[in-house]
Amino acid sequence: MTTFDQISGDLAALEIEVPSWAYGNSGTRFKVFGTPGTPRTPEEKVADAATVHRFTGLAPSVALHIPWDKVDDYAALRSYAEDQGIALGTINSNTFQDDDYKLGALTHADAKIRQKAIDHHFECIEVMNATGSRDLKIWLAEGSNYPGQADMRGRQDRLAESLATIYERLGEDQRLVLEYKFFEPAFYHTDVPDWGTSFAQVSALGDRAVVCLDTGHHAPGTNIEFIVMQLLRLGKLGSFDFNSRFYADDDLIVGAADPFQLFRILVEVVRGGGFKPVKEGGVAFMLDQCHNIEKKIPGQIRSVLNVQEMSARALLLDTDALARAQEDGDVLLANEIFMDAFYTDVRADLGGWREDHGLPADPMRAYLASGYQEQIEAARVGGTQAGWL
């Protein structure tokens, strides 16, 4: 039996990076709903991210998206974030909102367009140098809609060449993180559709190129924890984009659709070495979510708490007893031990743990009572859409 006291130290190492775009207005292709209090500037997004950290102690960094979070002075944005108690984290590139990229960016048949996309990544690396960010995260919206439309193999070769050029430009402490997604916006073929392709591409680059696993980017029924295990085993899991999905890339609050899946993923993280802060070389635990109808800061608070809750349950798994049951071939006992950890209600213990760490026992209620929401709703008029250029 593992007790809560025994996992207290491991829990303290859990860090979750929130995305700047979670604080902007977002929606579907049918409607973007505006929410009162939406940030108007990158600074205001950083202030909201810092608020999530203040109430939860779980979110010490915020990921930026370029050019959505473009500012004149990134060093100043960095000091602003540090004054608020958080760091600027992963820099996400954007090659999906420019007419030139209609038929591809890093894979485009035209060398001039590829160079434009490469130059954008060079600009992102400049941003990283100023923000002190470790990771350049690349998600590509590239692919084709119809059989015969594109030379899939040629595109794979051009992708390898473009990525190599970008990788060359990275500093010693920086990493290239390549995200995969099985479809959308391209529907016939996608250039980086799965972890195998991402793994093949980053493996050709070198040690500082790794894979990003977005939990919403797989076909229904995929055993995601198997992929987590395999990438950790191969030393190539760079980061998570956590969110949850019922259907496709829903970007809903992590743990909302299937907390058991989140638990199973976190069990593999614990099995693969556990939680380690980014500064110590850990896997980046990012959220990649948007809040279409709910308030954004409470949405982010719920998300980080869900990850913490399932992490605590994963840490409570009695791995010695499980290993014995597995060795004995005791199928039902092994499954029972696994399920016991999943069904453990850790909420009261986590409340006490937070108080011991100088945090509110119930971060959600504390935030709602704090007056911050009313203050931003009154002060900010005309907040922008996430991804609005």
Q: CA–CA separation, 232 vs 283, rounded Å?
A: 9
Q: Does the protein bind ligand AOS through residue 167 (CB under 6 A)?
A: no
Alpha-helical (H) ranges within 257-318 are 259-271, 296-315
Does residue 225 belong to the site contacting Zn ion (CB under 5 A)? no
Q: For 22, which DSSP code? A: G
Rounded to a whole number of angstroms, the CA Rg of the chain reads: 21
Query: 156 is written with which tokens?
Result: 């794979």
Pick from Zn ion, ligand AOS, none: which does 92 bind, CB < 5 to 8 A by kind?
Answer: ligand AOS
Task: Tell me: does residue 92 bind ligand AOS (CB under 6 A).
Answer: yes
Interaction pattern, residues 18-57, with ligand AOS; x per rule: CB under 6 A: ---x------------------------------------
Q: Is 241 in the site for ligand AOS (CB under 6 A)?
A: yes
Residue number of the CB closest to ligand AOS reads: 139
Torsion from C-alpha of 233, 239, 244, 247, nearest 10 degrees: -80
Tell me how far apart the alpha carbons of residues 32 and 387 are, in angstroms, rounded to a whole number.
11
In the complex with ligand AOS, the residue whose CB is nearer, 44 or 241, is 241
Q: Phi then psi for 206, rounded to 5 degrees?
A: 145, -175
Note whether 181 binds ligand AOS by CB under 6 A. yes
Confirm or reject binding of residue 214 to Zn ion (CB under 5 A). yes
Task: Please name which of 229, 321, 215 lies closest in space to residue 272, comparing C-alpha atoms.
Answer: 229
> Which of 288, 291, 301, 310 touches ligand AOS by CB under 6 A?
288
Minimum separation from the CB atom of position 359 to ligand AOS (A): 29
Task: Give Dmax (Cα) for the chain.
Answer: 63
Contact residue for ligand AOS among 249, 268, 309, 349 (CB under 6 A): 249
Name the amino acid, one letter, at 275: F
Stretch of 17-25, 67-75, 233-241, 311-319 contacting Zn ion, by CB under 5 A? 233-241
Name the residues that contact ligand AOS, by CB under 6 A. 21, 65, 92, 139, 179, 181, 214, 241, 249, 288
